[in-house]
Structure 1
Amino acid sequence: MARRWLFPALLAAGGAAIAVHQARTGSPVAAVVLALVFGVLAVLLSPLAFPASLAAAEAQRRSAADGGPVIYWRPGCQYCMRLRIRLGAVARRAHWVDIWRDPEGAAAVRAITGGDETVPTVVLGGEPHVNPDPGWLRGQLAR
Structure 2
Amino acid sequence: MKRVWMLPMLFVLCGVGAATALALRGDPGTAAVLLPLFVLFAAVNSPVVFPRSITAEEARRRSAEDGRPVVFWRPGCAYCLRLRLRLGLGARRLHWVDIWRDAAGAALVREANDGNETVPTVLVAGRAHTNPDPAWVREQLPHSR
Q: TM-score band (shorter)?
A: over 0.9
The alpha-carbon distance between structure 1 residues 142 and 31, as it changes in their structure 2 partners (threshold 3 A), is farther
Per-residue deviation, residues 42-89 of structure 1 (Å, max 9, x unmatched) = 010111111000001111111111111000001111111111111111
Q: Does 1:36 align with 2:44?
A: no
Q: Indicate the RMSD between aligned Cα atoms, in angstroms.
A: 1.4
Name the amino acid aligned to 2:62: R
Aligned residues: 143
Q: Which structure 1 residue ranges, 5 or more long, are not aligned?
A: none
SS in 2 for 1:49: coil
Q: Which structure 2 residue ranges, 5 or more long, are not aligned?
A: none
Name the amino acid aligned to 1:11: F
Q: What does 1:1-143 correspond to in 2, within 5 Å?
A: 2-141=2-141, 143=143
- Consecutive aligned runs of 4 or more in structure 1 exceeding 6 Å deviation: none
TM-score by length of 2: 0.92
The alpha-carbon distance between structure 1 residues 43 and 100, as it changes in their structure 2 partners (threshold 3 A), is same
TM-score by length of 1: 0.93
Higher helix share: 1
Name the amino acid aligned to 1:34: L
